[in-house]
Structure 1
Amino acid sequence: MISELRISDLGVIAEATLDLAPGFTAVTGETGAGKTMIVSGLGLLLGQRAARGIVRRDAVGAERTARVEGRFGRLPDPVLDRVGDLGGVFDEPDDGPELVLARTVGAAGRSRAYVGGAQVPVAALSTVSEELITIHGQSGQIRLALPETQRDMLDRFGGEQLLAIRADYRASWQDWRAASAELDTLRTQARERAREVDMLRHALDEIAAVDPTPGEDEELLAETRRLQAVDDLRVGAAKAALALNGDEVDFDTSPGAAALVGVARHALESIADADAPAAALAARTREVLYQLNDLGADLAGYLAGLEADPARLEEITARRAALSALHRKYGDTTDAVLAWADASRARLDDLVGTDDRIEQLSARVEQLTSRLEGLARDLTAARTAAARHLEDAVRVELAALAMPQARLTVVLEPGERGPWGAETTEFLFAANPGSQPGPLGKVASGGELSRVRLALEVTVADSPGQTLVFDEVDSGVGGAVAVEIGRRLKRLAERSQVVVVTHLAQVAAFADRHFVVVKADDGHITTSGVREVAEADRAGELARMMAGIDTTDTALAHAEELLAVAAEPLSAGSLVPKPSSR
């Protein structure tokens, strides 16, 4: 519920504040005074696009920045959660949290939106405000002709039971659509999968036949190089052994390094007791000798193993050729080939498992189809029952609105199952018994459509505590019909906050609070403001609305009579109850 609306520099309104309350609030004013700016301001809070030229200019023609700010209380849980997600904060008076929504529009059309003080995209503002305000204006009559709007009205009128069936059906339909789409894709791609399975199996068989091991290509390359250079290796190793161990035949003239170090060791040990540095050198010499002996043993073993092996070289060459064939197809190295094989085995498992997935999906789709058929029947039955109740309820409302012969017929046309059921919804209208019912948006006149729209809105309204704004709901009507419109709006205000922009005194008389948009002209610029009509002045204001600028005694008496009628208990012409499922 909105408790305060502030508007500045919007259209002809320089500055206006409306302190709103529960119940029925009427906003009136002369033609051109700017009362529609109240609706435009609320529309901005709903995220609607700002009309060109909506920002007010001052006396010298300079444009300002328009601002609309609304304060809301009695917030539903979805709004509380959404505001927290957006980073907004609440005011915390004693009677519960309050939320401030704001929108600014600059002269160049640039717009900013705020939720609880946090700047947010306009679309985010809409997600919050749409839970709080509903505007029924001229655009509402256009939407009323849309099949989806009519279907939604019927479903909301059907109540919680119908909406629960619809929600269950829609969830099942979404599951069915997802499963069916996946199943169709898998079946369509069956041939491609078969080809890929054959290719992967052939490749893996080819790799398995060679059976490479990690790093094998590098090891074989090293062994190849060794076998190809075995003669050079033997010559080099023999020279090293001679230098290290000496010539066994002519050792005296060709001693090796180890023998010479052994001589040095004996020489140093002979003087080690006489001098500490000499002892240290002797120890180091012993260590060198040990290392030379180990090196000599290793060198001898290495030399003994250097034998030419043409058969092994031929075997390695053939093995490397087999690995190279794999490298050309599956990876630059043996390790890359093995990695490709691991990934391909996993892919093959997925492809082979697709057949199992197809069987599972087929069973799932069959199950969901059966469930959808049952839910569609239940939804059709619930809508059919709700349609008859809605027709009766609207017939009573239209009779009270001076259209006793008018009929609204709800037609449910069977069709293919879709996201919202297995039928389309269409409202047909006939103003007179002899008239052939036709589509509501085409056969109803402007005044008739206004009354039908009000009858539907009053009958279907199901948002206790929400703010309902009506603009031009009394278009094309007057007299007794206007009185009935006022009576119905007052009854609607018993469960929702109702704000009505009207030019009819018969409607305004039923309001709990009355605001007037007042226009002033200083010769340079027209400015409008808003003032609340005190209870003692209500009759005078209503008389002015009926008689014009000069209020007559007759108009005043008529106004007082209207107020008396509006004060009567709302027993006659009460709203028709909705289906018991609500």
Structure 2
Amino acid sequence: MLEEIAIENLGVIRAARVPLSDGLTVITGETGAGKTMVLTGLGLLMGGKADAGAVRPGATGAVVEGRLRVAGHPAVVRRVDDAGGEVDDDGTVVVVRTVAAEGRSRAHLGGRSVPQGVLAEIADELVTVHGQADQLRLRTPAKQRAALDAFAGHAHLELLERYRAAWQERAALLAEIDDLTARAAERAREAELLRLGLAEVERVDPRPGEDAELTALVARLGNAEALRQAAQQAHDAVAGDDLETAGSAVDAVERARRALEAVAGDDPALGEHATRLAEAGYLLADVATDLAAYVDDLQADPAGLETAHARLAELTTLTRSYGETIDDVLRWASEAGLRLLDLDDGGERLRGMTERTGELDEQLAALAAEITAGRTAAAGRLADAVTAELAGLAMRGARLVVDVAAADEPGPYGADQVTFSLVPHPGAPARPLGKGASGGELSRVMLAVEVALATAAVESDDGAAPLPTFVFDEVDAGVGGRAAVEVGRRLASLARRTQVVVVTHLAQVAAFADAHLVVTKSAADGDVTVTGVREVTGDERVRELARMLSGQEESEAARQHAVELLETSTVGR
């Protein structure tokens, strides 16, 4: 709901703060005082087109700021969050719209600059405007269908949700089927390449790490003589041809150990060194033994080298195509096998999805038939309810026709096309809503529809989402007397369910308000009229109603009539 609107330098309004309460708020004032500027400001907040001509003469720009209560509207809260704005802890969000005199406009939502279209998205959830030239709700077939579905009740909406879920599943399946079919040749080519690759890997049959082992083997066999000579030289240096050779490392270490042990009794420190030399001797002896074994084992093997080269070439062919190492190749083969199973399963999946699509077609046809039956039954009830409301709104003889016809093709909301039409008087042809009535008549039709929908929602008590704020501009145009009282009564009835804001010139309507705002020409600023907005209560409200009744707020007869209207409106509720 709207909590308040602050307006600066818009039209004749220099600065005004418009508080909006729960229930029914009426805005009144003399002709030309600037009532429409309040609605213009609201339109800007709701993402309407900015007009530099609406900026107050002499001002650099206009500013409209509003506070919206969005608690209970999760879709709106999510949209604010997606736009980067913040919802205050009390469940409200601030919307600001600025219009520069040279024509540029800016929009802010929850403290974050946003495109104008974001405000329009928010408005679609929160505010519905019915004006002389701006009938936003129920003009499109989609909105009319949604209104009829809401009127049909909770069970019907659950049925519709089941249909939509099945429709979405079917749409997803059809998209996947189209993708599988379109990519059949591509998938076949991919599968063939995978088979060829896997066959090559299977033929070579590599072992994990085999390429590294072969590389080391080729290096060893290819340099066998050099390796043998190096190992022999190392062996001779460590152990010599036998352990008695004077120049061997083992013999030298042994002589040093014996020399130290001979005098260790005189100095224990030399005994420790002798022990360490003994350990070094053991280690050198082990190295000598291993080197001797290496020299004995290392023999030139041309045939083995050729075999290793051939095997390594085979492995290199694999690594060039499927990975840098044989381990990479083996991982590719594992993944390729799984992918090939998936590709080969495409035909079976396609058959399964086609069968499921057929099942969904049958399910959707059955659900669509139930939805059509529910809409057809609700259409008659809604038409009767709205027609009954129109009789009390100075449109006796007018009736609403709600037509449920087969759509050209089924869609996500069923197989129906819903159309609201108005028969303005007996014998007249039914014309689509919005084309067969004047602005004032259309506002009253909308009021009748909204009252019928709100009444149905209250009676069903189905926990539906909160209704939006309704704004009616001159809904009472062309009516008076008892019909005007009925207009006020219906507005008050709608306001028991949701917030309603009405711009009116009839005292009979204003008397039903929970809050009464008056737009007044308070002064003159040079050659420019200055307008203010204030709430009236008590005797001030009586004077305003008297003015609306007779044009003379101090007329005693008018004042008595105003008091009577206030009393009657209270009793009437």
Q: What's the TM-score once normalised by structure 1's chain length?
A: 0.82
Distance 1:197 1:19, change over 3 A: closer
Could you give the per-residue CA deviations for residues 24-55 of structure 1, whole angstroms, max 9, x where no partner exists? 33211223322123334444554556543555
User: Equivalent residue for 2:495?
Assistant: 493
Contact 1:247 1:254 in 2 (8 A): no
Change (3 A) 1:276 1:192: same
* Cα gap change, 1:279 to 1:31, in 2 (>3 Å): same
Match of 1:68 in 2: 65
Whole-Å separation in 2 of the counterparts to 1:148 and 1:139: 20
Query: Offset at 1:332?
Result: 2.6
Q: Equivalent residue for 2:105?
A: 109
What amino acid is the match of 2:314? A
Deviations 1:270-327 (A, max 9, x none): 3333444544443343333222221211111011001112221121122112112212
| Residue type of the alignment partner of 1:316 | A
Query: 1:46–1:125: 8 Å Cα contact kept in structure 2?
Result: yes
Following the alignment from structure 2 to structure 1, what is the Cα–Cα distance between the partners of residues 184 and 345?
Answer: 12
* Cα distance between partner residues in 2 of 1:303 and 1:497: 101
Residue among 506, 509, 513 paired with 1:507: 509
Q: Indicate the residue corresponding to 2:461 in structure 1.
A: none
* 1:166 counterpart = 2:160: yes
> Offset at 1:532?
3.3
Q: 1:131 to 1:325 in 2, by over 3 A?
A: closer
Matched, 1:367 2:359: yes
Q: Deviations over 1:99-120 (max 9, x none)?
A: 4645353646333333xxx668
Aligned to 2:462: none
- Greater shift, 379-388 or 484-493, is seen at 484-493
C-alpha contact 2:141 2:419 (8 A) present in aligned 1: yes
For 2:491, the aligned partner's letter is L
Q: What corresponds to 2:198 in structure 1?
A: 204
- Partner Cα separation in structure 2 for residue 252 and residue 385 of structure 1: 119
Taking a change above 3 Å as real, the CA distance of residues 263 and 571 of structure 1, as seen in their structure-2 partners, is: closer
Instruction: Tell whether the 8 Å contact from 2:485 to 2:508 is kept in structure 1 after alignment.
Output: yes
Residues 329 and 21 (structure 1 numbering): CA distance in 2 closer, same or farther, change over 3 Å? closer
Structure 2 match to 1:12: 12
| Deviation of 1:533 (Å) | 3.8
Alignment deviations for residues 514-571 of structure 1 (CA, whole Å, 9 cap, x no partner): 32200131324321112334444556534534655x6796xx7578557746754799
SS in 2 for 1:144: coil
Q: 1:406 aligns with which of 398, 423, 435?
A: 398
Cross-structure match for 1:324: 316
Tell me if the contact between 1:510 and 1:563 (Cα under 8 Å) persists in the aligned partners.
Answer: no
Distance change (3 Å), C-alpha of 1:294 and 1:391: same
Partner of 1:29: 29
Equivalent runs, 1:169-180 vs 2, <5 Å: 169-180=163-174
Residues 10-159 of structure 1 correspond to what in structure 2 (within 5 A)?
A: 10-46=10-46, 48=48, 50-52=50-52, 54=54, 56=56, 61-63=58-60, 66-70=63-67, 76=72, 78=74, 88-90=87-89, 99=92, 101-103=94-96, 105=98, 107=100, 109-114=105-110, 133-138=127-132, 140-141=134-135, 143-159=137-153
Aligned to 1:516: 518
Aligned position for 1:339: 331
How high is the TM-score relative to the length of structure 2? 0.83
1:527 alignment partner in structure 2: 530
- In 2, the alpha carbon distance for the partners of 1:163 and 1:246 equals 100
Secondary structure, aligned partner of 1:224: helix
User: What are the superposed Cα offsets for residues 9-34 of structure 1, whole Å, 9 maximum, x if unpaired?
Assistant: 44433343445545433211223322
User: Which region of structure 1 is more displaced relative to structure 2, 398-407 or 460-469?
Assistant: 460-469
Query: Would you say the 8 A contact 2:400–2:422 is kept in 1?
Result: yes
Aligned in 2, Cα 1:297/1:493: closer, same or farther, shift over 3 Å? Answer: closer
CA distance in 2 between partners of 1:538 and 1:229 (Å): 113
| 1:301 corresponds to | 293
1-structure distance, mates of 2:454, 2:233? 108
Q: Deviations over 1:489-510 (max 9, x none)?
A: 2333344443210233443344
Deviation at 1:426, TM superposition (A): 1.5
| Alignment equivalent of 2:340, drawn from 326, 348, 367 | 348
Report the Cα offset of residue 476 of structure 1.
5.2
Distance in 1 separating the partners of 2:489 and 2:547: 21
Q: Distance in 2 between matches of 1:255 and 1:70?
A: 102
Cα deviations across residues 195-229 of structure 1 (Å, max 9, x unaligned)? 32232122112101111112211211111121122
Residue of structure 2 in register with 1:229 after alignment? 223
Query: Is contact 1:156-1:163 (8 Å) kept?
Result: yes
- Could you tell me how far 1:474 is from its partner in structure 2? 3.0
Whether contact under 8 Å (1:4, 1:72) holds in the other structure is no
Q: Which of 530, 547, 561 is matched with 1:544 structurally?
A: 547
Would the aligned equivalents of 1:56 and 1:66 in 2 still touch at CA under 8 Å?
no
Question: Is 1:217 aligned with 2:214?
Answer: no
Tell whether the 8 Å contact from 2:550 to 2:558 is kept in structure 1 after alignment.
no
> Residue 361 and residue 413 in structure 1: after superposition, are their counterparts in 2 closer, same or farther (change >3 A)?
same
What one-letter code is carried by the residue in structure 2 that aligns with 1:371? Q
Whole-Å separation in 1 of the counterparts to 2:439 and 2:133:
13
Range moving further from structure 2, 335-344 or 354-363 = 354-363
Aligned partner letter, 1:522: D
Q: Distance in 1 between matches of 2:121 and 2:175?
A: 31
Give the match for residue 448 of structure 1: 441
2:188 and 2:209 mapped to 1: Cα distance? 33
1:578 is aligned to none
Give me the whole-angstrom Cα distance separating, in 2, the residues matched to 1:24 and 1:226: 98
Deviations 1:241-274 (A, max 9, x none): 33333346xx988753323433343344333334
Distance 2:252 2:132 in 1: 116
Q: Which runs of 5 or more residues in structure 2 are unaligned?
A: 459-465
List runs of 5+ in structure 1 lacking aligned partners. 92-97, 575-582
Distance 1:381 1:243, change over 3 A: same
The answer to whether structure 1 residue 438 and structure 2 residue 431 are counterparts is yes
Distance 1:119-1:245 versus aligned 2 partners, 3 A rule: closer
Equivalent pair of 2:489/2:569 in contact (CA under 8 Å): no
Deviates more, 1:340-349 or 1:443-452: 443-452
Identity %: 46
Tell whether 2:248 aligns with 1:256: yes
Is residue 2:244 matched to residue 1:266?
A: no
**2: CA distance between counterparts of 1:87 and 1:3?**
17
Q: Retained in 2: the 8 A contact 1:509–1:563?
A: no
Q: Tell me the distance in 1 between the aligned counterparts of 2:327 and 2:375.
A: 66
- Give yes or no for the alignment of 1:244 onto 2:238: yes
Report if aligned partners of 2:5, 2:64 keep a CA contact under 8 Å in 1.
Answer: no
- Separation (CA, whole Å) in 2 of partners of 1:185 and 1:141: 43
